[in-house]
Amino acid sequence: MHDAHEFLKSLTIVLGVAAVTTVVFQRLRQPVVLGYIIAGLIVGPHVPIPLVADPVVVQTLSELGVILLMFSLGLEFSLRRLAEVGPTAGLTALLETSFMIWLGFTIGRLLGWTGLESMFAGAVIAISSTTIIAQAFEEQGVTGKLRQLVLGILIAEDLIAVLLIAVLTGVASGSGLAPGPLAATVARLVGFLVALITVGLLLVPRAMRAVSRLNRRQTTLVASIGICFAVALLAQAFGYSVALGAFLAGSLVAESGEEKQVAHLVEPVRDVFAAVFFVSVGMLIDPRLVARHWQGAVALTGAVVLGKVTGVSLGAFLTGRGMRTSIQAGLSLAQIGEFSFIIAGLGLALRATGDFLYPVAITVSAVTTLLTPWMIRASDSIAAWVDRKLPGPLQTFAALYTSWLEELRARRPANTALARVRPLLRLLVLDAALIASIVVATSASIRKIVAVAQNDLAMSELVARSLVIGTALALCAPFCLGVVRVSQKLGVTLARLALPTEQRKRVDFAAAPRRMLVVTFQLAAVLLVGMPLLALTQPFLPGVPAAALLGLLVAVLGVAFWRSATSLQGHVRAGAQV
């Protein structure tokens, strides 16, 4: 009886205060998400106000909000639509999360944190919050290509988060980055997704169509939510997030063709529990801990806002999503959430981090969550302003580059053309994997090798260490050169696919645009290979030599890019005058 009373009391306090703050924020014309977070601060245990809800009860109810929000998102993304945005979203997420991991690690080291704490800090700021963005998009009516791109990136980030958790668990527990367990983790994730989607496609659409034919709204609602929780529970049983399972459940239900009816029925239930989720975020904010660790909170908050906007915008643009849409996507994804709490809590549980990282993660999430609705609302005007302020050569290039890639996607290159691209991609991945293996193996064994050299060969520590590092660099050199050469060849191949050479014409008018595309594709390939490689090897390298090397290579390509862009604008002007 006492438990039932506490449950009802907590639910009453949460919904009552949330209702008041929601009304106030709507009157002030501010996003209601902010009102929910303020409500959480009011009913939380860290503020001296005599309205305290039970955190355990609120946390349990907030899980329902996460599941229902993700299920609603899945209803908008049938598996066919997910496959359409998958490649672009996946590459963008890979580039952006790699950049954020490196940035977080670098900031952690500058703040004096240990290498392991810095690794966890990088992972904490790498993954955006699907739940928070979904609610903000729903509230502000964001639709179209921007919504599809952002949600596709979020799903890719969730998959990356699963791998990050596995890697960090291995590193923190002492097993390190063993290739065997890591490969097993990837294989298990792929196997789970393939099995779930295969069986789900056979059962879920047929079941939902049969239920829908009964023309009973209540039955349809109960059946759809039952499928949602069943798949979420299945994902949790296999060690994955309930959010991933709920999203896949929504996608499977969408394959039945009844997604609009189901979305309409689920919406009121979803909104209630989504409100509880955002209240739970506000309850985690402890002003005293924020004041104590303000430097880390400020640094990581700035990294999330600036890093996410930069990484997502660059990645989305390079994969052909247009300048304005890319910038809007970057501004929409500039926050962290539920996976960051999980990763920070994992570090605390494994004693890999101090007790400061969890409150810092919560603070960064709370601040960026407060900023998210405003950034989404202002994203269109900010993107338009950036587009107007770009130098002329970049404006010309951005417009033509996007149209070229859209045409290339629409044309669907023949199998013979794709056959020329696939071996180059495999070579890029192989070269990057070999470089990473050499760096990690050298870092793991350098102490033992130096000790053997000192004892058996009577070498000094400096000489032995220099020989080991020199040997590692010599082994890496051909593969680094291979990355540059293969990326250039890949750029030439893709440029010829986008702008084929006209054999019959004496004058090749596409030569200047093609040169521009070659440099751009080469730059994209170097970044897509270099950033993940940098994120993986940075913890094993002293100082910032890898970052400096990648920065130098990008700078050289940047100079070539600017020259090509200027030449392209000259050709466009000359053609316009003719």
> What domain range is 446 assigned to?
409-577
Q: State whether 415 and 332 are in the same domain.
A: no
- DSSP character at residue 256: T
Residue-wise DSSP of 115-136: HHHHHHHHHHTTS--HHHHHHH
Confidence of residue 328 (pLDDT cuts 50, 70, 90): very high
Residue 124 falls within a domain, yes or no? Answer: yes
71 and 193 assigned to the same domain: yes
Q: 110 lies in a domain?
A: yes
Q: From residue 437, how far is each of 193, 350, 433, 442 by CA, in Å?
A: 28, 26, 6, 8
Tokens of 227: 């499928």
The answer to whether position 45 is within a domain reads yes
366 lies in the same domain as 481: no
- Please check whether residues 272 and 415 belong to one and the same domain: no
* pTM for this predicted structure: 0.77
pLDDT value at 248 more than 90 = no
> For residues 362 and 344, what is the distance between their CA atoms, to the nearest angstrom?
9
Identify the pLDDT of residue 1.
43
User: How many other C-beta atoms lie within 10 A of the C-beta of residue 173?
Assistant: 11
What is the tens place of the pLDDT at every residue in 73-132? Answer: 788 767 776 676 667 788 889 889 999 999 999 899 888 888 888 889 999 999 898 777
Same domain membership, residue 369 and residue 337: yes
Q: Are residues 370 and 413 in the same domain?
A: no
Is the domain of 370 the same as that of 424?
no
On whether residue 397 sits in a domain, the answer given is no
Which pLDDT score is estimated for 577?
Answer: 54
| pLDDT score of 270 more than 80 | yes
Whole-angstrom distance, CA of residue 11 vs CA of residue 242: 22
pLDDT band at 503 (very low <50, low <70, confident <90, very high): low
One domain, residues 347 and 288: yes
Residue 38 lies inside a defined structural domain of this protein = yes
Q: What is the mean pLDDT of the chain?
A: 80
The answer as to whether 173 is a domain residue is yes
Q: Is 178 left (phi over 0), alpha (psi -120 to 50) or beta?
A: beta
26 C-beta neighbours (distance < 10 Å), count: 12
d(CA 488, CA 11): 60
Assigned domain for 402 exists: no
**Within a domain: 400:** no
Asked if 274 and 168 sit in the same domain, the reply is yes
d(CA 45, CA 50): 9
Query: Where a domain ends, among 356, 389, 422?
Result: 389
Domain with 124 in it: what CATH number? 1.20.1530.20
Considering its fold, how many domains does the chain have in total? 2
Question: Do both 513 and 572 map to the same domain?
Answer: yes
Contact yes or no for 369/338 (Cβ under 8 A): no
Q: Are residues 239 and 365 in the same domain?
A: yes
| pLDDT tens string 345-368 | 778 777 888 878 888 888 888 888
